[in-house]
Structure 1
Amino acid sequence: MDDKKRKEVAASLLKDMEATATRMRELIVAMPPHDLLGYIYAQHMMKAMVDQSAEEEQREAVGSNDLINENQFLLEYVHAVLASDDAPADVTFDEAQCADLFELSCKLREQAMFFAVITSADTKDGVFGPDTADIEFRAKSNWVILRGNRYQVLEGEFYSYVLAPHNDVLKEVYGVGAAEIAEGFQAMADATRSGHSDAIMEMSKQFEAAQAFAAAQDIPLEDVMEAWIAANAEQSKAAGRAMDDMFRGGIANVSRHTTLPPALLADLAYQRGEETEFFAAGDFAGTPYRTLPARKKPLIQLGADYYAIDPCFTRDAGYRALLYNLLQRKPDYKKTFEDRQKRMSEAAFADILAAQLPGATVFQEIYYKDPASKQWSENDTLILVDDVLFLVEAKAGAAATIASPALDFGRHAQSVQDLVLKAYKQCERFFNYLNSADEVLLYHLEDGKYEECGRVRRSDYRVMVPIGLTVESFSPFSTYCKELPQVEPLLGRHAFISLSIDELFVLKRLLPTPGEFAHYMEVRQAVAGMRRAHLFDEFDHLGAYLKKNRFDQDIAKQLQDGKVSMLIWDGMSDIVDKSFEGEDWEARPFPAQHFPKEVLKLLDALDATRVQGWLSAESHIRDLGEEGRKNLAKMLTDLRQTLNQHPARYFVLGGDGEPLFVWLQQHGQQIDWKKVNEKASAASLAVKASNVVGVVAEIGSDGTYRRAQSFAVHIPTERTQENASIYEDAARMVHPTRAVNLKQPENVSFLRKTRKPGRNDLCPCGSGAKFKRCHGR
């Protein structure tokens, strides 16, 4: 299709969209809002029930999830019309017109998607280089169909955290603090999530009570209803509220289902006819490519009550509207507000992920003299844990833009670019500083003076992850920004990652240990450095990791054949999504990668001991595929069971990556580190490895792993008189007929006690630390 024809088709689609939207507006405004809401929500509930009961093949055939999304799309249009039009004097509910409305909603959604295809296809180049056309299409299509990309059960946790810095002012302005507001937002989410089932249970309960009342008097139920209602006023009111929830949109009534004060709800709500922009004359009038009113204020006032018509914009729109109105009501709070937001966002990564970062050294607001500019530069948060470094640049403002990508894709992309590129540049400057010397100095700014607060050596860190952190998610741009020409891996190898605070609450649950989290971030960073490979959001990355482990390697293989211009993995988040479904979601175990029990015991011991280098050892073990994990489990089990005859055993596990040398020791027996190091060196020579990961585990008589730690394996590069015995040992390992087969490890003789190192001597384990700070503790 040539450019002229494409423009003609786009103009025709735009005209059709505007006509469809106008007809939808006419139908919506002519019906009583409560009845219309009740009908739409009832359809939503029935489709959800079909989705739950159908087999997987049926779900795909029916497309029930898509139908539910269409209902949500329609709810946003109901919100838009109620916000834009005064209530007519006469309204009538008409089920046939409701059916028309559903068809029109589907039609408008399809028209909008076709428009996204047509108007993006002719984009030859742009801010995202040759991939700009594809990313523009995704920005437009996601603007139309992205609904509810949050886990509703975590609403309260998110609000509680991000509002906590403003607790005193919230109480002053609204009479309630962060905890109460967070509870209210969670109650909003719960009402739409489980409101229908709660109403059904309440109706069933009251029906059974009425039946019992009738049976006690031996009178038919229909003849005693008036008497039962008179005698059970509260129960009958509860039944009435349940009926309203089920059939008149009552589950969206936040005045009923929350205890949030009217003043706060009013700040989040449109009154009828208050919105003047959405249907105003001009291009895209009333179409999904205007900014839906729900993106600005999520509630509508109907009579004396406030309603959350569409539950899916409540999180982000509610958060932005609340903070905006807080400052409108208290403008002198602006400077303090900004300072508090900054501190909250800068502390969030280390705070929320405290369990994943045990014993971490955390520097906040660090300064240094930039070698290039000779000026003082600042970074937000530096986190050092074992041999992993996280540099977090936090942006306290809202990530999501409400500027439509169809009206101005450049502006839409620029607002997100600004967030990413500013954080990226700050990270880049610090990484260049780290690379400028063997050891660099860090400073805090105290009373106008720069005071040294720490020193960092780049060589100490196996993994370094630069992160841009926003309060809210801004998928899909957060994962697509690696396509920006300006965004390259720092120092040629450390790719930049965009994350949000609300995503951290999910990561901390599904990656509960330091080893799991650090390994995920390694794999995640590898994918962040791959251009032309895309997953929609952080939860797709997380799902891919849980399902496939080193999914970065799978992606690399698919890209290597040269036949793929862009690779997209879709739907990987389903394993994560299902974790937050159902009333019992907190009681169920979260999905995790499978490890044999024996390997988990070793990982748990490494995590419990946490000697320097433990994350490196965990990473190596977690890199193993299914077969490697099984092999490791078998070797551990077989040799552990022989420790009652032998004080120590060892083996080498090879594979595609670096070999793993494991030394198993009876707990209570002193470790002969000279022997350990020599055997590890010999094994390294035997398997011709350039690097080997070493692990020593101490095991009790009951089979419990009491301690485990990694150690540095020295691999000789030249035979000398001093290391001749190591080379001879390696030769024996290579030839099983002459000595030991690595698959059938040598029985190590009883180890005689050796002189204990002095407290200030280097630890014989090879860590490079003094004995008192390593194994002498």
Structure 2
Amino acid sequence: MTLLTNEQERKELVSALIREMEATALDMRALILAMPPEDLLGYIYAQRLMKMKDGTGNHPEQHDVKKPDDTINDSQFLLEYVHAVLASDSAAEEIEFDETKCTELFALSSKLKEQAMSFAMVSSAETGNQDFGPKTADIEFHMKSTWVLLRGNRYQVLEGEFYSYVLAPHDDVLREVYGVGATEIADGFQDMANATRAGHVNAMEEMMRQFESAHNFAKERNKPLEEVMEAWVSENEDQSKVAGRAIDDMFRGGVANVSRHTKLPPELLADLAYQRGEETEFFAKGDFSGTPYRTLPVRKKPLIQLESDYYAVDPCFTRDAGYRALLFNLLQKKPDYKHSFKDRQKTMSEGAFPDILADQLPGATIYQEVYYKDPMTKQWTENDTLVLVDDVLYLVEAKAGAAATIASPEIDFKRHAQSVQDLVLKAYSQCERFFNYLDSADEVPLYTRTGGKYEECGRIRQSDYRLMLPIGLTVESFSPFSSFCKDLPQIEPLLGKHAFISMSIDDLFVLKRVLPTPGIFSHYMEVRQAVAGMRGSHLFDEFDHLGAYITKNRFDEDIADQMRDGGASFVVWNDMSKIIDRAFEGESWEDNPIPMQDFPKELIRLLGALNTTRSKGWLGAESLIRNYGEQERNDLAKLLSDIGKTVGQHPERYFAFSGNDQPLFVWMQSSEHPVEWQKINDKASAVALSTKAKEAVGVFIEIGNGDAYTKAECFKANAPSVQSEKNAHIFEDAKRISERISNVSSPQAVASSKPIRSRKVGRNEPCPCGSGAKYKKCHGR
């Protein structure tokens, strides 16, 4: 009886919250309709600008879900409702701007958002849905709160790059339909983003220029400014029009006027826009009328037509919904293009990973549309993209469709959940089948399909790969589900150890900038995979993971420590992306230093030589070195420097470094002397034996003129398990090494949870990322 009463109370509370949301939404609708839309937009944007200038709000490019109650995010939420009302209602005849009403509108917007979040908590608490097993209640709350709060997931300065890439396959059809191609449309979307980012600043600067011009005009005539303004306007008609547009941008929402700030053709803008009163569903009678749990019109068409111009009222959904809306309308106008469209989307999405990350995957063996016969079903099965680089395997399953459904998780949970399953679980299942195939034999064949026939195109051994990364790739950002998917009950590490990673093409454009070399990229992916396998660890999106990596390095170990030592079952890391966000801020963002970890100069030389030589196993050696914390890096750098200086007096020098569980053996030798690999391998085996390790990672460094590292080759040396007459000298050497290894190594590792301190890098010094390029041409650009 008590349970029944509690359930009844919960239902009554849910119903009450729905009624409260509907009432608040109607009040907001009435206030929005009572004011001129341009003046209202100007006021809202001005509030955002003031909060950004006084530092009390988030940067506009940060993820709004992280601080949902600040003024900037409240204004973003409000802009969606302005768009919804303008799309749903014709213009009222008697309207007048009222700042008091604007203040009330902000308060109602904040209230509605709080009501929506309360509803998400209460309605998800004892859900009847079981789509995600025992975790469904938590996941349902996550879906609902994300639906309400999440706005804007990309760095606005990269909009053009994203659109240029994803629209390129349809360039010819876009030109046929709209008269402009992928490049011009990408420029238009970048212009929209730029107008939001910098429109007020540009307008202010333009107003100052025009004021100075008018002031000089008055000064030349030796008259007060007010007496000559009419004459100045008459003689400077073009300048006065420019000044008028700047004033409009500053005070009447002109920064949102995409007709003014882009060169996109009206026909294309019309396809992305609502006319006043065109939308009939959002405020229609029924449950959740006008609430955030209906589909906001901006998710379907991101623009609004006001008189003859088109406005991007809400800057975030202009970006998030613009891509889907554009392609939807393209297919409406060219229905016969549907089949070719799917083929082109498939080709683009499946090739995106190795294409965008070409610099991170040098010399890779790439298989696309690789086939194999599933040993369980005996059926031919296909995987999208297999990339093999040194001892790293990337298996990428690409999903070319939209990253998120526009179906509300409250109105249609099944459909909303299905989009998650389609984009995550299907990719996961395809990766799982392939990994099981790899595990079915020591070596397995791969096939390509030509003319309906399957032909062998290669063979692959699981044992050749130290790191195997199954990846689900979406076109658009799928945050936060991309990072949250590890908590889906269906997802377990493949073969018990290879965690599944979900990311987007959006993410790749940032990763390629911040992680420019194969070594740092594969090491990040190694750490990223470790976190992907930790249930209950939550970072919002890929850029939080990236920021945590740059500042903490092995942040997976930090999280593990928090869970183990603190007894936490759920760990949340917020705002880790700040260091990445700052790299994309400001008008001169391309000149900002790209964030990176710090390495001593000697390690920079070694990483650069490894990257240049790229001998077999070089990524494993880089991984071992990049795992070191600050003190270990400094210790290793000192050994390299001190011993390297003596190579001129000795034909060869070596040392062992036991910074973690696996020893690093370094052999340094002048390029003038022949290489004796048997001698080197025996010494490395003795080192492995002396440290009780099964094997040692070896690096052979050849030193040329001026102490330059001319090459750095990698090798592995196994510790012999049984002593024999043939290897007795190795056991004897191991005993001698054990007695003095502590004098030449630093076995005590600094916990990787400590931030890695940065130092100022000279612009002409080698870049600390290990690329081999000068800092000014790499991360310091």
TM-score, normalisation: structure 1: 0.92
* Distance apart, 1:303 and its partner CA: 0.4
Amino acid at match of 2:313: I
The range that moved more, 138-147 or 517-526, is 138-147
The range that moved more, 135-144 or 248-257, is 135-144
Q: 1:147 aligns with which of 135, 151, 155?
A: 151
Q: Deviations over 1:32-86 (max 9, x none)?
A: 111111111111111111128999xxxx9xx898210111111110000000000
Partner residue of 1:112?
A: 116
SS at match of 1:443: strand
Residue 126 of structure 1 contacts residue 132 of structure 1 at CA under 8 Å; is this kept in 2? yes
Partner residue of 2:325?
A: 321
The range that moved more, 612-621 or 527-536, is 527-536
Partner residue of 2:769?
A: none
Partner residue of 1:69?
A: 73
- Structure 1 unpaired stretches of 5+: 745-777
Q: 1:430 aligns with which of 427, 434, 441?
A: 434
Partner residue of 2:452?
A: 448
Amino acid at match of 1:489: P
How far apart in 2 are the matches of 1:549 and 1:302?
50
The range that moved more, 434-443 or 155-164, is 434-443
SS at match of 2:375: coil
How far apart in 2 are the matches of 1:505 and 1:113?
33
Amino acid at match of 2:457: C
Q: 2:621 aligns with which of 611, 617, 622?
A: 617
Relative to 1, partners in 2 of residues 1:99 and 1:679: Cα closer, same or farther, differing over 3 Å? same
Q: Deviations over 1:479-516 (max 9, x none)?
A: 22222222111111111111111111111111111101
Matched, 1:178 2:179: no
Q: 1:5 aligns with which of 3, 9, 19?
A: 9
Relative to 1, partners in 2 of residues 1:452 and 1:97: Cα closer, same or farther, differing over 3 Å? same
Residue 733 of structure 1 contacts residue 741 of structure 1 at CA under 8 Å; is this kept in 2? no
Alignment of 1:84-233 (within 5 A): 84-123=88-127, 126-233=130-237
How far apart in 1 are the matches of 2:27 and 2:361?
55
Q: Deviations over 1:273-315 (max 9, x none)?
A: 0001110111111011111111111000000000000000112
Partner residue of 1:472?
A: 476
The range that moved more, 542-551 or 123-132, is 123-132
Partner residue of 1:730?
A: 734
Amino acid at match of 2:589: W
Relative to 1, partners in 2 of residues 1:323 and 1:125: Cα closer, same or farther, differing over 3 Å? closer
Residue 29 of structure 1 contacts residue 87 of structure 1 at CA under 8 Å; is this kept in 2? yes
Q: Deviations over 1:404-458 (max 9, x none)?
A: 1122333312221122111111111111111122221111111111122111111
Matched, 1:303 2:303: no
Partner residue of 1:696?
A: 700
Partner residue of 1:665?
A: 669
Partner residue of 2:570?
A: 566
SS at match of 1:442: strand
Aligned length: 737
Amino acid at match of 1:417: Q
Matched, 1:487 2:491: yes
Alignment of 1:590-669 (within 5 A): 590-669=594-673
Amino acid at match of 1:552: D
Q: Deviations over 1:149-191 (max 9, x none)?
A: 2110111000000000000000000000000000000000000
Q: Sequence identity of aligned pairs in percent?
A: 67
Q: Deviations over 1:644-680 (max 9, x none)?
A: 2112211111133211111111233222212211111
Matched, 1:531 2:551: no
Matched, 1:248 2:260: no
SS at match of 1:51: coil
* Distance apart, 1:372 and its partner CA: 1.3
Partner residue of 1:279?
A: 283
Partner residue of 1:234?
A: 238
Relative to 1, partners in 2 of residues 1:584 and 1:486: Cα closer, same or farther, differing over 3 Å? same
Relative to 1, partners in 2 of residues 1:741 and 1:72: Cα closer, same or farther, differing over 3 Å? closer
Partner residue of 2:391?
A: 387
Amino acid at match of 2:596: A
Higher relative contact order (CA 8 A, sep 6+): 2
Partner residue of 2:691?
A: 687
Relative to 1, partners in 2 of residues 1:743 and 1:418: Cα closer, same or farther, differing over 3 Å? closer
How far apart in 2 are the matches of 1:198 and 1:260?
20
Matched, 1:508 2:512: yes
How far apart in 2 are the matches of 1:2 and 1:724?
77
How far apart in 2 are the matches of 1:743 and 1:275?
71
Amino acid at match of 1:602: L
SS at match of 2:206: helix
Matched, 1:556 2:553: no
Matched, 1:404 2:408: yes
Residue 252 of structure 1 contacts residue 309 of structure 1 at CA under 8 Å; is this kept in 2? yes
The range that moved more, 294-303 or 363-372, is 363-372
How far apart in 2 are the matches of 1:131 and 1:592?
37
SS at match of 2:661: coil
Relative to 1, partners in 2 of residues 1:631 and 1:496: Cα closer, same or farther, differing over 3 Å? same
RMSD of equivalent CA atoms: 2.0
* Distance apart, 1:565 and its partner CA: 2.8
SS at match of 2:705: coil
How far apart in 2 are the matches of 1:120 and 1:52?
33
Matched, 1:289 2:298: no
Q: Deviations over 1:727-756 (max 9, x none)?
A: 1111122234xx995449xxxxxxxxxxxx
Residue 547 of structure 2 contacts residue 580 of structure 2 at CA under 8 Å; is this kept in 1? yes
* Distance apart, 1:123 and its partner CA: 3.7
Partner residue of 2:717?
A: 713
Q: Deviations over 1:604-654 (max 9, x none)?
A: 110011011100000110111111111111111111111221122111111
Q: Deviations over 1:183-210 (max 9, x none)?
A: 0000000001100000000000111111
Amino acid at match of 1:345: S
SS at match of 1:2: helix
How far apart in 1 are the matches of 2:651 and 2:187?
57
Matched, 1:343 2:347: yes
- Structure 2 unpaired stretches of 5+: 747-781
Partner residue of 2:338?
A: 334
Amino acid at match of 2:429: K
How far apart in 1 are the matches of 2:128 and 2:389?
44
Amino acid at match of 1:147: R
Residue 47 of structure 1 contacts residue 64 of structure 1 at CA under 8 Å; is this kept in 2? no
Matched, 1:370 2:374: yes
Residue 719 of structure 1 contacts residue 727 of structure 1 at CA under 8 Å; is this kept in 2? yes
Residue 584 of structure 2 contacts residue 592 of structure 2 at CA under 8 Å; is this kept in 1? no
How far apart in 1 are the matches of 2:43 and 2:140?
35
Relative to 1, partners in 2 of residues 1:740 and 1:510: Cα closer, same or farther, differing over 3 Å? closer
How far apart in 2 are the matches of 1:532 and 1:52?
31
Partner residue of 2:546?
A: 542
Residue 57 of structure 2 contacts residue 70 of structure 2 at CA under 8 Å; is this kept in 1? no
Amino acid at match of 1:177: G
How far apart in 2 are the matches of 1:4 and 1:696?
73
Partner residue of 1:759?
A: none
Q: Deviations over 1:679-710 (max 9, x none)?
A: 11111222222221111111223132211121
* Distance apart, 1:124 and its partner CA: 8.1
Residue 700 of structure 1 contacts residue 706 of structure 1 at CA under 8 Å; is this kept in 2? yes
TM-score, normalisation: structure 2: 0.92
Residue 258 of structure 2 contacts residue 310 of structure 2 at CA under 8 Å; is this kept in 1? yes
How far apart in 2 are the matches of 1:132 and 1:472?
24
How far apart in 2 are the matches of 1:733 and 1:101?
75
